[in-house]
Amino acid sequence: MTLLTGTLLLSFVLSSYGAGVHGHQDVNESTPIRSRSLVRDRSGKLEVDPEGIAFLRSPSVINQTLKTIGIVGQARTGKSFFMNSLVGRSRVFEVSSGDEGFTKGLWIHQLPEEEEEKKEEEEQGACESNNKTCVPKGTMTILVDSEGLGAPGGTKVYDTKMVALTAMLSSVFFYNTMRKVNKLDVEFL
């Protein structure tokens, strides 16, 4: 993929989802924002993290239409960096400069809601209360960052599970690579 093609694809995704680097750059970088663990590795088996599930089951999330952007790819290819660029911050998903991958399992982060969109949805009656307290329905975008494929100590079975789970959770699915996609990549996916 050429730089121009990648830039056009990224621009399309960002415009489709109403989120992007430019929309969130003015957020104070010192304000603590963190991602949440959703799935973790327990001796080669995937385990749901209670904190991540509690977040997804919270009233502020469960009453929303979710859009998810997920990413997979080989270890050390910049997946977390790419996801941070979607948020417009450098420390939402942890990154490191070492040889070993930093991300373990699946991590999620909610993109900030656009205030105008939220007001518009409320005005359109997205939340019908019927004399009950409810959270207005809207749309929420969740980023899903994954552990790198081919990491030391990993197995092909584990990598396959990570790809499958990320793909199933994602409305938009990115395969991140530092080279041209080849036949083996396509067969694996």
In a domain, 69, yes or no: yes
In a domain, 19, yes or no: no
Helix count (H) and strand count (E) of the chain? 8, 6
In a domain, 13, yes or no: no
Q: Residue 172: what pLDDT?
A: 94
Q: Compute the distance between CA of residue 150 and CA of residue 37 in angstroms, rounded to an integer.
A: 20
* Number of domains the chain is built from: 1
Q: Which helix (H) or strand (E) holds 141?
A: strand 139-146
Q: Residue 133: what pLDDT?
A: 46
Per the structure block, which two tokens stand in for 143?
A: 């980023």
In a domain, 65, yes or no: yes
Instruction: Write the burial class of residue 131 (CB in 10 Å: 0-12 exposed, 13-18 middle, 19+ buried).
Output: exposed
Indicate which CATH number applies to the domain containing 170: 3.40.50.300
In a domain, 156, yes or no: yes
Q: Residue 13: what pLDDT?
A: 44
In a domain, 122, yes or no: no
Exposure of 186 in the CB half-sphere (CA atoms within 13 A): 4
CA dihedral in degrees (73, 77, 78, 83; nearest 10)?
A: -10
Q: Compute the distance between CA of residue 88 and CA of residue 19 in angstroms, rounded to an integer.
A: 10
In a domain, 4, yes or no: no
Residue keyed to tokens 């001796």 = 43
Backbone angles phi, psi at 68, to 5 degrees: -125, 140
Boundaries of domain holding 155: 32-112+136-188
In a domain, 120, yes or no: no
Can you give the pLDDT of all 189 residues of the chain as single tens digits?
Answer: 444 344 334 434 443 443 333 233 334 444 456 789 999 988 878 999 999 999 999 988 888 888 999 989 888 777 888 788 888 876 777 666 666 666 788 888 988 765 445 555 554 554 555 545 455 568 899 999 888 888 877 888 989 998 999 999 999 999 988 888 888 778 777
